[in-house]
Amino acid sequence: MDHKKDIAIIGGGPGGYLAALRAPQLGRKAVLFEEDRVGGTCMNYGCIPTKYLLHQTKILKEVRETKTVVGGAGIGLDWAAVQTGRLAVVDRLVRGIEFLLEKGGVEIVKGRARLEEAGRVAVETPDGPKTYRADAVILATGSRSASLPFLAPNGAEVVTSTEALAFPEVPKSLLVIGAGAIGLEMGSIFKRLGTDVTVLEILPGIIPGSDRETAARLERTLKKQGLRILTQMSIAGADVVPGKVTLKGTCLKNSVPFEYSAERVLLAAGRRPNSEGLAADGMLTLGRGGFVAVNDRLETGIPGVYAIGDLIGGKLLAHKAYHDAIVAVENACGMNRTVDYRALPIAVFTDPEFASVGLTQEEADGKGIKVRAGVFPLQASGRALTMDSLDGMVKVLADGEDRIIGAHIVAPGASEMIHELALAVSRGSTLGEIGGLIHIHPTLSETIGEAALKARNEALHLLN
Ligand code: FAD
């Protein structure tokens, strides 16, 4: 016999669990299917554990590098204790989400689920198969690390970020394929632990798709920290033997062949959606790369079936999945919401951090917008000087009417600073409004106001 709910959600990551938390607030009974652990990639293997390791290793880096700390050079990290700490943080968060779901009356069903037809989900549970009927179904099965045609994870020499988080020992050498957020964050973690890290990127710069000037600023800084970042490196083959991986290819800058070896290689060159086997063949329309196609209300081609988060592509970010979740579940409850990604911020949690919102200079130029750009370097910030953190900048872009259309930051805490500019982009605030806002002194956020003023040639702590 079919069980009956108002909303059935497949996948308990940020997209799925948030949809499940919102449903009871709207008076709906929800069931959440999860084959692994609630919290999904983000909480268990992504956002949270990486930030824990980044924080732990940053403490080490700061103690070692702060010139006034005596004896810092000899200090190390207890890797086993760090691993215990990582698991404790993740467990606490997962338990917190389970508690909230339980209090909301959400039924959590452990098992692999599949959309049988509109409004009907089958699930393989440890107690046997079950079927559920629901007025609406939300697909939120996320994504996984992509392999290369000649290189797949083997759990030893070739790993994804999931295995790298839990390396039993810190490797002596590591090759990272891909200089996006995951590659740079994982590369930074291991570089700080003493691993010889080489990042290979096929495109001309790091953080593909981001504002070139700002990304180049971060690239220079990371290289200064000893992270070997090589761009325009086209990898064509790999040799894997126990304890050693060799990557071979050609540098596109000069057509010279290359060969790099290390104990381990991390695949961080893109992700693939978990769309295979999610529904009967041909039921869902898949777009490029297998991502599920949806309209701007996040409805698939099947009425009453929505898809959200990494599964539908775009920016593969937890907070994008959160936004999608609210839009989809509210539409499932009869509202008429559409997604709006114009002010979706992104961050890379290196040191300094990178954060960005809205259009890049290249995108604005491509749209024919007459851009006014204001760049304020951290060298001119008193707060940055007190932190001995002068590598960075804030760049604010405005259109012909002085409305802020994009902003890009390299700075400690950039992921926190960017929200003022996300609000500016979403509200169409002007350079004058942000430049005139009273920022606390001395803070790095003052540089946001100064960058806005600089775009009008009115910066106060910098020559115009
Ligand atoms: P997921 O989190 O992938 O959740 C999908 C869930 O569905 C999984 O739990 C899976 O087990 C389950 N599932 C799949 N198929 C089925 C099925 N058939 N039946 C039942 N259950 C199923 N994003 C950020 O915003 N900030 C960060 O700092 C950040 N850091 C990251 C670091 C790393 C190393 C990685 C890998 C990712 C990071 N991300 C970050 C990205 C973020 O994790 C994802 O964007 C986010 O988890 C997507 O959420 P989701 O709900 O769409 O999918």
Q: Single out the residue in 224, 245, 269 at which a domain terminates.
A: 269
Mark whether 34 and 131 lie in a shared domain. Answer: yes
pLDDT value, residue 74: 82
DSSP annotation of 113 reads: E
Residue 73 has pLDDT above 80, yes or no: no
Nearest CA to ligand 1 atom 52: 309
pLDDT in tens, 278-300: 998 889 999 999 999 999 999 99
Nearest CA to ligand 1 atom 33: 46
Tell me the CATH number at 175. 3.50.50.60
Q: Which of 3, 323, 441, 461 is catalytic?
A: 441
Total domains in the chain come to 3
Mark whether 259 and 276 lie in a shared domain. Answer: no
Q: Which helix (H) or strand (E) holds 53?
A: helix 47-65
Atom of ligand 1 nearest to the CA of 38: 9
Atom of ligand 1 nearest to the CA of 319: 25
Q: What is the pTM of this model?
A: 0.97
Contact 456, 431 (CB under 8 A): yes
- State the residue range of the domain holding 125: 3-144+272-332
Residue 19 has pLDDT above 80, yes or no: yes
pLDDT value, residue 55: 98
Round to whole Å and give the CA distance between 367 and 354: 24
Atom of ligand 1 nearest to the CA of 33: 20
Tell me the CATH number at 447. 3.30.390.30
- Residue to mutate (ligand 1; options 141, 291, 311; most atoms within 8 A of CB): 141
Round to whole Å and give the CA distance between 118 and 116: 7
Which of these, 381, 369, 370, lies nearest to 410 by C-alpha position? Answer: 381
Residues near 287 by beta carbon (within 8 Å), at least 6 away in sequence: 293, 313
Mark whether 363 and 450 lie in a shared domain. Answer: yes
| Upper half-sphere CA count for residue 47 (Cβ side, 13 Å) | 17
Residue 425, in any domain of the structure: yes
Residue 152, in any domain of the structure: no
Residue 463, in any domain of the structure: no
DSSP β-ladder status, 353-358 and 404-411? antiparallel
Residue 17, in any domain of the structure: yes
- Residue to mutate (ligand 1; options 41, 98, 131, 346; most atoms within 8 A of CB): 41
pLDDT average, residue stretch 197-209 = 97
Mark whether 305 and 390 lie in a shared domain. Answer: no
Residue 233 C-alpha to ligand 1 middle, in angstroms? 28
Mark whether 279 and 243 lie in a shared domain. Answer: no
Residue 320 C-alpha to ligand 1 middle, in angstroms? 11
Atom of ligand 1 nearest to the CA of 113: 19
The residue whose two tokens read 């990290």 is: 77
Mark whether 47 and 92 lie in a shared domain. Answer: yes
Mark whether 234 and 278 lie in a shared domain. Answer: no
Task: Provide the CA 62 distance to its chain's centre, in angstroms.
Answer: 24
CA distances from 124 to 37, 106, 110, 114, 278 (A): 15, 19, 8, 9, 13
User: Residues lining ligand 1, CB < 6 A?
Assistant: 10-16, 33-36, 40-42, 45-47, 50, 112-113, 140-143, 161, 182, 274, 278, 309-311, 316-319, 321
What's the mean per-residue pLDDT of the chain?
97
Sequential DSSP letters for 63-107: HHH-TTSTTGGG----HHHHHHHHHHHHHHHHHHHHHHHHHTTPE
Long-range contacts, 434-438 (Cβ 8 Å, 24+): 434/396, 434/404
Residue 450, in any domain of the structure: yes
Which of these, 384, 372, 332, lies nearest to 455 by C-alpha position? Answer: 372
pLDDT average, residue stretch 116-121 = 96
pLDDT value, residue 335: 97
pLDDT in tens, 386-427: 999 999 999 999 999 999 999 999 999 999 999 999 999 999
Mark whether 198 and 130 lie in a shared domain. Answer: no
Round to whole Å and give the CA distance between 229 and 250: 15
pLDDT value, residue 20: 98
Mark whether 131 and 276 lie in a shared domain. Answer: yes
pLDDT value, residue 1: 78
Round to whole Å and give the CA distance between 351 and 150: 32
pLDDT average, residue stretch 26-48 = 98
pLDDT in tens, 126-182: 999 999 999 999 999 999 999 999 999 999 999 999 999 999 999 999 999 999 999
Amino acid occupying residue 310: D
Residue 182 C-alpha to ligand 1 middle, in angstroms? 13
Q: Is 55 a catalytic residue?
A: no
Mark whether 12 and 110 lie in a shared domain. Answer: yes
- Residue to mutate (ligand 1; options 10, 22, 47, 124; most atoms within 8 A of CB): 47
pLDDT value, residue 71: 85
pLDDT average, residue stretch 258-285 = 96
Contact 460, 446 (CB under 8 A): no
Mark whether 185 and 323 lie in a shared domain. Answer: no
pLDDT value, residue 147: 94
Round to whole Å and give the CA distance between 409 and 133: 47
Mark whether 313 and 429 lie in a shared domain. Answer: no
Residue 464, in any domain of the structure: no
Residues near 281 by beta carbon (within 8 Å), at least 6 away in sequence: none
Q: Single out the residue in 224, 239, 269 at which a domain terminates.
A: 269
Q: Which helix (H) or strand (E) holds 16?
A: helix 14-25
Residue 461, in any domain of the structure: no
H helices of 129-226, in order, are 161-165, 181-192, 212-224
Residue 46 C-alpha to ligand 1 middle, in angstroms? 7
Residue 151, in any domain of the structure: no
Residue 310 C-alpha to ligand 1 middle, in angstroms? 7
